[in-house]
Amino acid sequence: MGVLTPVTSRVNSVAAYAGSYALPPLLTISRGSILSLLRRIQIGSLIIQDTDGSVTICGSPRRAEVETEKTVYTIPHAELKVLNDLFWIRLLLFADMGFAESYMLGEVACPDITAFFKL
């Protein structure tokens, strides 16, 4: 046991306590900001399933009666499943690198990542 162990454990306790109060508002702001940007998608669609089970559709939803062979391959349609709420904060703070880190850490899943980046 080091000399600074009691001090660092108390500092960590205070940081965890403060973080528990700061995280929910930051999460709400991050999620709202990112979704407002994604709702501006004009070509293609993105379906986002959040951790609470809610589904958000951004862009124009896929319609089977309008699809032709050409539009199926040219208009991107992607699905995104958020597995950890920290994804929203990471995406807001670090943009593309935040998305890449969240994807590698398993905070978000996307069956067709290529279609997602075409949006």
Best CA proximity match to 119, nearest among 67, 61, 43, 48: 43
State pLDDT tens for residues 33-49. Answer: 999 999 999 889 999 99
pLDDT value, residue 13: 67
Q: What number of residues does the chain have? A: 119
Decide if pLDDT at 57 tops 60.
Answer: yes
User: Per the structure, how many domains does the chain have?
Assistant: 1
Bridge partners, 82 (sequence order): 108
pLDDT band at 16 (very low <50, low <70, confident <90, very high): low
pLDDT value, residue 60: 82
Residue 44, SS3 per DSSP: coil
pTM for the whole thing? Answer: 0.74
Q: Which domain holds residue 22?
A: 5-118
Mean pLDDT for the chain? 83
The answer to whether residues 28 and 38 touch, using CB atoms and an 8 Å cutoff, is no
pLDDT value, residue 64: 52
pLDDT value, residue 2: 58
More reliable by pLDDT, 61 or 117: 117
> What DSSP designation does 90 have?
H
State pLDDT tens for residues 63-96. Answer: 555 556 655 567 889 999 999 998 999 999 999 9
